[in-house]
Amino acid sequence: GIQVEQSPPDLILQEGANSTLRCNFSDSVNNLQWFHQNPWGQLINLFYIPSGTKQNGRLSATTVATERYSLLYISSSQTTDSGVYFCAVNTGGFKTIFGAGTRLFVKA
Amino acid sequence: DSGVTQTPKHLITATGQRVTLRCSPRSGDLSVYWYQQSLDQGLQFLIQYYNGEERAKGNILERFSAQQFPDLHSELNLSSLELGDSALYFCASSVGGAGELFFGEGSRLTVL
């Protein structure tokens, strides 16, 4: 089955810093999503981005489907950005597979 | 609020017992997915239903079973519970079989 790798596994930032999270996948995908799991466990949809670039406030994402990767950019990070960021992909079947996540801690 | 409702939010039970987790998808969504997240782990895909039919199976134990009812809500049944079954169980829904997923807040199961 498809392999989804996220990097880095852990990231510590000072408030105000920028960061880039990466998601590599081993096969062609029909869709790709980025989620943020907050410290209370809630999974929040960030982007649905099978290809191209999208922006939402301080966050933006780019998926290059032909090269099998996606990037999530966080600018001017805030303490509320802390949590785990997951990439999830679907190859056209009925399974959506998650990467292991990037755990982000933003220090005040 | 994603529109996906899961009950109960918290559940504490003993080894060997059986529990049922319930999920109501977003209005209009035909697909329901179940995922398991053990402590500090990623999300493991368990099973997916589309309009009442099982369409995909992941790493679901034989002690676990699920179904989707005609009104599209779904139930995940966990039996002969073991300590290792303690986890956060998420339900998600989507319009079609492979579209954008929306997650409920999860059911946190603790097996003592």
Cα separation, B54 vs A88, in Å, equals 21
The tens digit of pLDDT for each residue in A26-73 reads 998 889 999 999 999 999 999 999 999 999 999 999 999 999 999 999
- The pLDDT of residue B63: 97
What residues contact B52, with CB distance under 8 A and at least 6 apart? B68, B69, B70, B72
- Asked if the Cβ–Cβ distance from A42 to B99 is below 8 Å, we say no
Is 80 exceeded by the pLDDT of residue B97? no
- Asked if the Cβ–Cβ distance from A41 to B106 is below 8 Å, we say yes
Is 90 exceeded by the pLDDT of residue B52? yes
Smallest Cα–Cα separation from A35: which of A101, A91, A96? A101
Distances (CA, A) of B7 to A8, A25, B25, B63, B69: 34, 33, 12, 20, 16
- Which of the residues B100, B107, B108 would you substitute to probe the A interface, choosing the one with the greatest number of A C-beta atoms within 10 Å? B100
Instruction: Kindly state the DSSP code that residue B58 receives in the 8-state scheme.
Output: -
Alpha helices in chain B, H assignment, sequence order: none
- The pLDDT of residue B18: 98
Cα separation, A101 vs B43, in Å, equals 9
Token pair of B66, please? 């699920």
Share of chain A above pLDDT 90, in %: 88
Chain A residue numbers with beta carbons less than 8 Å from the beta carbon of B45 are 95-98
Q: Which of A33, A93, A99 is facing B101, going by the closest CB pair?
A: A33
